[in-house]
Chain A
């Protein structure tokens, strides 16, 4: 059974720092991995989706990497800003499913201090 974990559970950094969020999954047979952002009391916003054949994806100050064989993904945020404060979740879609069921990690709560 696929399990997704995220470390750390919470992170507080001063504005301007570069930071890395980690996501681990137990079954390397994934179809893709997605990173989401969730603001308090809101829904999830898709940030980046990495296909299993890809190693990384970039969008602005965000860079997500994927190492399927080791069951790990990282989300790198460059030059952090207070507006980056949110919870970040990763989610994996298993290779074996014929539908779009994904398994979510518990999230990392990020606070960027001005």
Chain B
């Protein structure tokens, strides 16, 4: 079974802090994604990566950055946390498209982040 592991289930940080959310997958997937989920807004893509050191902006990248130094690990960074970044953050992974693109995305259990 595919395992996507997010380092924290719950996290509380203060405004202005630099926050790191970590995600690790064990299935050698090329694609990795970071979403945030908010009531009434659904899931929104922040960033994704299709290879090591490669990254692409999603729909709402402002205030975030990412790092993919190893294939299995994708980190989301809040450069200077703000209260409007309080949310549920979900990481996902999948095989690369173009031939493998009918593979499903696999999700971690999420990190509920509160910025005070």
A-B contact count (CB 8 A): 64
Residues of chain B contacted by A70 (CB below 8 angstroms): none
Residues of chain A contacted by B4 (CB below 8 angstroms): 43
Chain A min CB distance to B27 (Å): 13
Which stretch of B40-48, B65-73, B78-86 is in the interface?
A: B40-48
Q: Is the CB of B45 within 8 A of A101?
A: yes
A43-B108, A49-B104 are known contacts. Are A104 and B97 too (CB-CB below 8 A)? no
B: residues with CB less than 8 A from A are: 4, 6, 31, 33, 40, 42-43, 45, 48, 50, 56, 58, 88, 90, 92, 94, 96-98, 101-110, 112
A: residues with CB less than 8 A from B are: 31-32, 34, 36, 41-46, 49, 51, 89, 91, 93, 97-102, 104-107
Q: Apart from A43-B109, A46-B104, A100-B33, what are 19 other A-B pairs with CB-CB below 8 Å?
A: A31-B101, A32-B101, A34-B104, A42-B110, A44-B105, A44-B107, A46-B106, A49-B102, A49-B103, A49-B104, A51-B102, A98-B97, A99-B31, A100-B31, A100-B94, A100-B101, A101-B45, A101-B48, A106-B40
